[in-house]
Structure 1
Amino acid sequence: MRVRIAIGAQTLTLFGTDGAAIRIYPVSTALNGPGETEGSNCTPRGRHRIRALIGRGMPWGTVFRGRRPTGERWSVEMAAAQPQRDWILSRILWLCGEEPGFNRLGAVDSMRRYIYIHGTGEDQPMGRPLSHGCVRMRNRDVIELFELVEAGTKVEICE
Protein backbone atom coordinates (compact mmCIF):
# COMPACT_ATOMS: atom_id res chain seq x y z
CA MET A 1 0.00 0.00 0.00
CA ARG A 2 1.04 3.58 -0.56
CA VAL A 3 -0.49 7.04 -0.22
CA ARG A 4 -0.31 10.05 -2.56
CA ILE A 5 -1.39 13.50 -1.43
CA ALA A 6 -2.01 15.94 -4.29
CA ILE A 7 -1.80 19.51 -2.98
CA GLY A 8 -3.30 21.05 -6.14
CA ALA A 9 -6.28 18.68 -6.19
CA GLN A 10 -6.58 18.61 -2.36
CA THR A 11 -6.94 14.83 -2.39
CA LEU A 12 -5.37 11.85 -0.67
CA THR A 13 -5.32 8.62 -2.69
CA LEU A 14 -4.65 5.23 -1.14
CA PHE A 15 -3.22 2.67 -3.54
CA GLY A 16 -3.44 -1.06 -2.91
CA THR A 17 -0.62 -3.56 -3.28
CA ASP A 18 -1.59 -4.02 -6.95
CA GLY A 19 -1.09 -0.30 -7.62
CA ALA A 20 -4.80 0.45 -8.11
CA ALA A 21 -6.43 3.36 -6.30
CA ILE A 22 -8.71 1.92 -3.63
CA ARG A 23 -9.75 5.11 -1.81
CA ILE A 24 -9.75 8.82 -2.68
CA TYR A 25 -10.44 11.31 0.11
CA PRO A 26 -10.78 15.10 0.09
CA VAL A 27 -8.20 16.83 2.30
CA SER A 28 -7.09 20.28 3.37
CA THR A 29 -3.38 21.08 3.19
CA ALA A 30 -1.57 24.28 4.22
CA LEU A 31 -3.05 27.70 3.68
CA ASN A 32 0.55 28.86 3.03
CA GLY A 33 0.96 26.31 0.23
CA PRO A 34 3.78 23.81 -0.25
CA GLY A 35 7.15 24.21 1.44
CA GLU A 36 9.56 22.40 3.66
CA THR A 37 11.12 24.98 5.97
CA GLU A 38 10.48 24.85 9.71
CA GLY A 39 8.17 27.63 10.85
CA SER A 40 6.74 28.17 7.35
CA ASN A 41 3.32 26.61 8.11
CA CYS A 42 3.59 24.98 4.68
CA THR A 43 2.88 21.37 3.67
CA PRO A 44 6.15 19.59 2.88
CA ARG A 45 6.52 17.85 -0.47
CA GLY A 46 8.34 14.72 -1.45
CA ARG A 47 8.73 11.17 -0.23
CA HIS A 48 7.63 10.42 3.32
CA ARG A 49 6.55 7.41 5.32
CA ILE A 50 4.16 6.98 8.21
CA ARG A 51 6.41 6.97 11.26
CA ALA A 52 3.71 6.38 13.88
CA LEU A 53 -0.03 5.72 14.12
CA ILE A 54 -1.59 7.37 17.16
CA GLY A 55 -5.11 7.00 18.53
CA ARG A 56 -6.08 3.39 17.81
CA GLY A 57 -9.40 2.58 19.46
CA MET A 58 -10.11 6.15 20.55
CA PRO A 59 -13.65 7.47 19.99
CA TRP A 60 -14.55 9.67 17.02
CA GLY A 61 -13.67 13.29 17.76
CA THR A 62 -11.07 12.56 20.45
CA VAL A 63 -9.03 15.74 20.97
CA PHE A 64 -5.24 15.38 20.94
CA ARG A 65 -2.64 17.80 22.26
CA GLY A 66 1.03 16.87 22.02
CA ARG A 67 -0.07 13.55 20.47
CA ARG A 68 -1.91 12.60 23.66
CA PRO A 69 -5.68 12.44 24.15
CA THR A 70 -6.91 15.28 26.36
CA GLY A 71 -10.03 13.44 27.53
CA GLU A 72 -12.22 15.79 25.47
CA ARG A 73 -14.34 15.04 22.44
CA TRP A 74 -14.76 17.70 19.79
CA SER A 75 -18.11 19.46 19.48
CA VAL A 76 -19.48 22.44 17.59
CA GLU A 77 -19.75 24.26 20.91
CA MET A 78 -16.06 23.67 21.69
CA ALA A 79 -15.11 24.92 18.23
CA ALA A 80 -17.23 28.06 18.66
CA ALA A 81 -15.59 28.77 22.05
CA GLN A 82 -12.08 28.36 20.59
CA PRO A 83 -12.29 29.56 16.97
CA GLN A 84 -8.52 29.92 16.44
CA ARG A 85 -7.62 26.44 17.72
CA ASP A 86 -6.07 24.01 15.21
CA TRP A 87 -8.00 20.87 16.16
CA ILE A 88 -6.15 17.55 15.94
CA LEU A 89 -8.84 14.92 16.22
CA SER A 90 -9.62 11.19 16.10
CA ARG A 91 -6.33 9.80 14.69
CA ILE A 92 -2.78 10.96 13.94
CA LEU A 93 -0.56 9.54 11.20
CA TRP A 94 2.84 11.13 11.96
CA LEU A 95 4.97 11.60 8.85
CA CYS A 96 8.74 11.29 8.51
CA GLY A 97 10.55 12.71 5.47
CA GLU A 98 12.79 10.38 3.49
CA GLU A 99 14.84 12.91 1.50
CA PRO A 100 17.80 14.30 3.50
CA GLY A 101 18.19 18.03 2.95
CA PHE A 102 14.72 18.34 1.41
CA ASN A 103 12.22 17.02 3.98
CA ARG A 104 14.50 15.23 6.46
CA LEU A 105 17.08 16.58 8.94
CA GLY A 106 17.94 20.18 9.79
CA ALA A 107 15.45 23.00 9.24
CA VAL A 108 13.37 20.95 6.78
CA ASP A 109 12.64 17.84 8.90
CA SER A 110 8.96 16.90 8.50
CA MET A 111 8.92 14.78 11.64
CA ARG A 112 10.46 17.51 13.81
CA ARG A 113 7.92 19.90 12.27
CA TYR A 114 5.17 17.56 13.58
CA ILE A 115 3.62 17.06 10.16
CA TYR A 116 0.60 14.76 10.48
CA ILE A 117 -2.34 13.44 8.60
CA HIS A 118 -5.10 13.99 11.16
CA GLY A 119 -8.80 14.53 11.71
CA THR A 120 -10.24 18.01 12.08
CA GLY A 121 -13.49 19.67 13.12
CA GLU A 122 -16.54 18.86 11.07
CA ASP A 123 -17.02 22.61 10.57
CA GLN A 124 -13.77 22.80 8.56
CA PRO A 125 -14.05 22.59 4.76
CA MET A 126 -12.21 19.97 2.75
CA GLY A 127 -10.85 20.62 -0.74
CA ARG A 128 -9.43 24.01 0.29
CA PRO A 129 -5.96 24.66 1.71
CA LEU A 130 -6.49 25.96 5.26
CA SER A 131 -4.20 24.00 7.60
CA HIS A 132 -1.04 25.12 9.40
CA GLY A 133 1.05 22.58 7.43
CA CYS A 134 -0.53 19.23 8.22
CA VAL A 135 -2.94 17.28 6.05
CA ARG A 136 -6.43 17.53 7.52
CA MET A 137 -9.15 14.95 6.86
CA ARG A 138 -12.74 14.33 7.89
CA ASN A 139 -12.77 12.24 11.07
CA ARG A 140 -14.57 9.28 9.51
CA ASP A 141 -12.05 9.31 6.64
CA VAL A 142 -8.93 9.48 8.81
CA ILE A 143 -10.27 6.66 11.00
CA GLU A 144 -10.86 4.53 7.91
CA LEU A 145 -7.42 5.33 6.48
CA PHE A 146 -5.79 4.59 9.86
CA GLU A 147 -7.26 1.08 9.80
CA LEU A 148 -6.02 0.42 6.24
CA VAL A 149 -2.36 1.45 6.58
CA GLU A 150 0.48 0.61 8.91
CA ALA A 151 3.64 2.27 10.20
CA GLY A 152 6.16 2.39 7.36
CA THR A 153 3.57 2.97 4.62
CA LYS A 154 5.05 5.22 1.91
CA VAL A 155 3.49 8.65 1.46
CA GLU A 156 4.22 10.95 -1.47
CA ILE A 157 3.19 14.59 -1.24
CA CYS A 158 3.17 16.36 -4.60
CA GLU A 159 1.92 19.63 -6.00
Structure 2
Amino acid sequence: MKLVISVSQQTAYLLDGLEVILECAVSTALNGVGCEKGSNQTPLGKHLVRAKIGQDEPLNAVFKGRRPTGEIYTPALGQAYPNRDWILTRILWLSGTEKGKNRLGSVDTMQRYIYIHGTPDTEPMGIALSHGCIRMRNSDLVKLFDLIAVGTPVVIEA
Protein backbone atom coordinates (compact mmCIF):
# COMPACT_ATOMS: atom_id res chain seq x y z
CA MET A 1 0.00 0.00 0.00
CA LYS A 2 1.03 3.58 -0.64
CA LEU A 3 -0.81 6.86 -0.10
CA VAL A 4 -0.28 9.62 -2.66
CA ILE A 5 -1.42 13.16 -1.88
CA SER A 6 -1.67 15.43 -4.93
CA VAL A 7 -1.56 19.08 -3.87
CA SER A 8 -2.46 20.31 -7.38
CA GLN A 9 -5.51 18.03 -7.50
CA GLN A 10 -6.29 18.35 -3.74
CA THR A 11 -6.85 14.59 -3.75
CA ALA A 12 -5.53 11.58 -1.83
CA TYR A 13 -5.12 8.23 -3.58
CA LEU A 14 -4.56 5.00 -1.66
CA LEU A 15 -2.84 2.54 -3.98
CA ASP A 16 -2.44 -1.21 -3.69
CA GLY A 17 0.15 -1.75 -6.37
CA LEU A 18 -1.29 0.13 -9.35
CA GLU A 19 -4.91 -0.17 -8.23
CA VAL A 20 -6.58 2.85 -6.62
CA ILE A 21 -8.56 1.45 -3.69
CA LEU A 22 -9.59 4.78 -2.14
CA GLU A 23 -9.78 8.29 -3.59
CA CYS A 24 -10.71 11.28 -1.40
CA ALA A 25 -10.75 15.04 -1.66
CA VAL A 26 -8.37 16.81 0.74
CA SER A 27 -7.41 20.33 1.77
CA THR A 28 -3.70 21.14 2.00
CA ALA A 29 -2.03 24.37 3.18
CA LEU A 30 -3.35 27.80 2.31
CA ASN A 31 0.32 28.93 2.24
CA GLY A 32 1.22 26.37 -0.45
CA VAL A 33 4.00 23.81 -0.26
CA GLY A 34 7.23 23.91 1.68
CA CYS A 35 9.09 22.09 4.40
CA GLU A 36 10.42 24.84 6.69
CA LYS A 37 9.30 25.00 10.31
CA GLY A 38 6.92 27.87 10.93
CA SER A 39 5.94 28.14 7.26
CA ASN A 40 2.40 26.75 7.65
CA GLN A 41 3.02 24.96 4.36
CA THR A 42 2.39 21.35 3.36
CA PRO A 43 5.69 19.46 3.03
CA LEU A 44 6.49 17.66 -0.22
CA GLY A 45 8.29 14.38 -0.74
CA LYS A 46 8.41 10.91 0.72
CA HIS A 47 6.94 10.31 4.16
CA LEU A 48 5.55 7.48 6.20
CA VAL A 49 2.74 7.12 8.71
CA ARG A 50 4.62 7.41 12.01
CA ALA A 51 1.58 6.98 14.29
CA LYS A 52 -2.13 6.31 14.09
CA ILE A 53 -4.06 8.13 16.79
CA GLY A 54 -7.73 7.94 17.69
CA GLN A 55 -8.67 4.33 17.06
CA ASP A 56 -12.27 3.77 18.26
CA GLU A 57 -12.93 7.47 18.91
CA PRO A 58 -16.34 8.66 17.60
CA LEU A 59 -16.77 10.77 14.49
CA ASN A 60 -16.04 14.43 15.27
CA ALA A 61 -14.03 13.64 18.42
CA VAL A 62 -11.88 16.71 19.13
CA PHE A 63 -8.10 16.35 19.60
CA LYS A 64 -5.64 18.76 21.15
CA GLY A 65 -1.97 17.84 21.47
CA ARG A 66 -2.82 14.46 19.85
CA ARG A 67 -5.14 13.56 22.73
CA PRO A 68 -8.94 13.44 22.69
CA THR A 69 -10.41 16.31 24.72
CA GLY A 70 -13.69 14.51 25.41
CA GLU A 71 -15.52 17.04 23.23
CA ILE A 72 -17.51 16.16 20.13
CA TYR A 73 -17.46 18.87 17.46
CA THR A 74 -20.79 20.55 16.75
CA PRO A 75 -21.57 23.76 14.87
CA ALA A 76 -22.30 25.39 18.25
CA LEU A 77 -18.84 24.42 19.54
CA GLY A 78 -17.35 25.78 16.32
CA GLN A 79 -19.13 29.10 16.86
CA ALA A 80 -17.94 29.26 20.46
CA TYR A 81 -14.29 28.88 19.31
CA PRO A 82 -14.19 30.39 15.80
CA ASN A 83 -10.39 30.64 15.55
CA ARG A 84 -9.59 27.09 16.63
CA ASP A 85 -7.90 24.81 14.05
CA TRP A 86 -10.10 21.74 14.53
CA ILE A 87 -8.38 18.35 14.51
CA LEU A 88 -11.14 15.78 14.49
CA THR A 89 -11.88 12.02 14.48
CA ARG A 90 -8.43 10.49 13.74
CA ILE A 91 -4.81 11.55 13.28
CA LEU A 92 -2.24 10.03 10.95
CA TRP A 93 1.04 11.61 12.08
CA LEU A 94 3.55 11.86 9.24
CA SER A 95 7.32 11.57 9.35
CA GLY A 96 9.57 12.63 6.49
CA THR A 97 12.08 10.12 5.13
CA GLU A 98 14.33 12.43 3.09
CA LYS A 99 17.14 13.95 5.18
CA GLY A 100 17.51 17.67 4.55
CA LYS A 101 14.25 17.84 2.60
CA ASN A 102 11.56 16.79 5.09
CA ARG A 103 13.52 15.07 7.86
CA LEU A 104 15.76 16.52 10.59
CA GLY A 105 16.84 20.11 11.16
CA SER A 106 14.51 22.95 10.21
CA VAL A 107 12.52 20.82 7.75
CA ASP A 108 11.38 17.91 9.93
CA THR A 109 7.79 16.95 9.10
CA MET A 110 7.27 15.05 12.34
CA GLN A 111 8.62 17.88 14.52
CA ARG A 112 6.30 20.23 12.62
CA TYR A 113 3.36 18.05 13.71
CA ILE A 114 2.12 17.50 10.18
CA TYR A 115 -0.92 15.21 10.20
CA ILE A 116 -3.64 13.87 8.03
CA HIS A 117 -6.69 14.63 10.16
CA GLY A 118 -10.43 15.17 10.12
CA THR A 119 -12.05 18.57 9.94
CA PRO A 120 -15.58 19.97 10.39
CA ASP A 121 -17.98 19.02 7.58
CA THR A 122 -18.53 22.73 6.95
CA GLU A 123 -14.91 23.13 5.80
CA PRO A 124 -14.50 22.84 2.03
CA MET A 125 -12.45 20.07 0.45
CA GLY A 126 -10.57 20.47 -2.81
CA ILE A 127 -9.36 23.93 -1.73
CA ALA A 128 -6.05 24.62 0.01
CA LEU A 129 -7.02 26.13 3.39
CA SER A 130 -5.13 24.27 6.14
CA HIS A 131 -2.28 25.47 8.35
CA GLY A 132 0.09 22.86 6.83
CA CYS A 133 -1.65 19.58 7.60
CA ILE A 134 -3.76 17.57 5.20
CA ARG A 135 -7.43 17.80 6.11
CA MET A 136 -9.97 15.16 5.12
CA ARG A 137 -13.67 14.51 5.56
CA ASN A 138 -14.14 12.52 8.77
CA SER A 139 -15.89 9.60 7.05
CA ASP A 140 -13.09 9.35 4.44
CA LEU A 141 -10.44 9.53 7.15
CA VAL A 142 -12.00 6.63 9.08
CA LYS A 143 -11.94 4.50 5.90
CA LEU A 144 -8.30 5.41 5.24
CA PHE A 145 -7.29 4.90 8.88
CA ASP A 146 -8.75 1.38 8.85
CA LEU A 147 -7.00 0.44 5.58
CA ILE A 148 -3.42 1.48 6.36
CA ALA A 149 -0.81 0.57 8.94
CA VAL A 150 1.91 2.45 10.76
CA GLY A 151 4.84 2.59 8.34
CA THR A 152 2.69 3.00 5.22
CA PRO A 153 4.54 5.15 2.66
CA VAL A 154 3.00 8.54 1.92
CA VAL A 155 4.13 10.64 -1.04
CA ILE A 156 3.07 14.29 -1.15
CA GLU A 157 3.36 15.65 -4.68
CA ALA A 158 2.99 19.20 -5.98
- TM-score normalised to structure 2 length: 0.99
Per-residue Cα deviation, 1:90-109 (whole angstroms, up to 9, x for no partner): 00000000000000000000
Number of residue pairs matched by the alignment? 158
Aligned pairs for 1:4-153 (under 5 A) are: 4-16=4-16, 18-153=17-152
Counterpart CA distance in 2 for 1:59 and 1:82 is 20
**Ranges of 4+ aligned residues in structure 1 off by more than 6 Å:** none
Counterpart CA distance in 1 for 2:86 and 2:93 is 15
Counterpart CA distance in 2 for 1:84 and 1:21 is 36
Q: What's the CA shift for 1:19?
A: 2.1
Unaligned runs of 5+ in 2: none
Counterpart CA distance in 2 for 1:134 and 1:63 is 16
Matched letter for residue 8 of structure 1:
S
Matched letter for residue 4 of structure 2:
R
Q: What's the CA shift for 1:21?
A: 0.7
- Secondary structure, aligned partner of 1:40: coil
Counterpart CA distance in 2 for 1:158 and 1:62 is 29
Aligned CA RMSD, in angstroms, stands at 0.5
- TM-score normalised to structure 1 length: 0.98
Matched letter for residue 3 of structure 2:
V
Q: What's the CA shift for 1:81?
A: 1.5
- Secondary structure, aligned partner of 2:49: strand
Identity over aligned residues, as a percent? 54
2:3 counterpart of 1:3: yes
- Secondary structure, aligned partner of 1:12: strand
- Secondary structure, aligned partner of 1:27: strand
Per-residue Cα deviation, 1:24-78 (whole angstroms, up to 9, x for no partner): 1000000000000000000000000000000000111000000000000000111
Matched letter for residue 151 of structure 1:
V
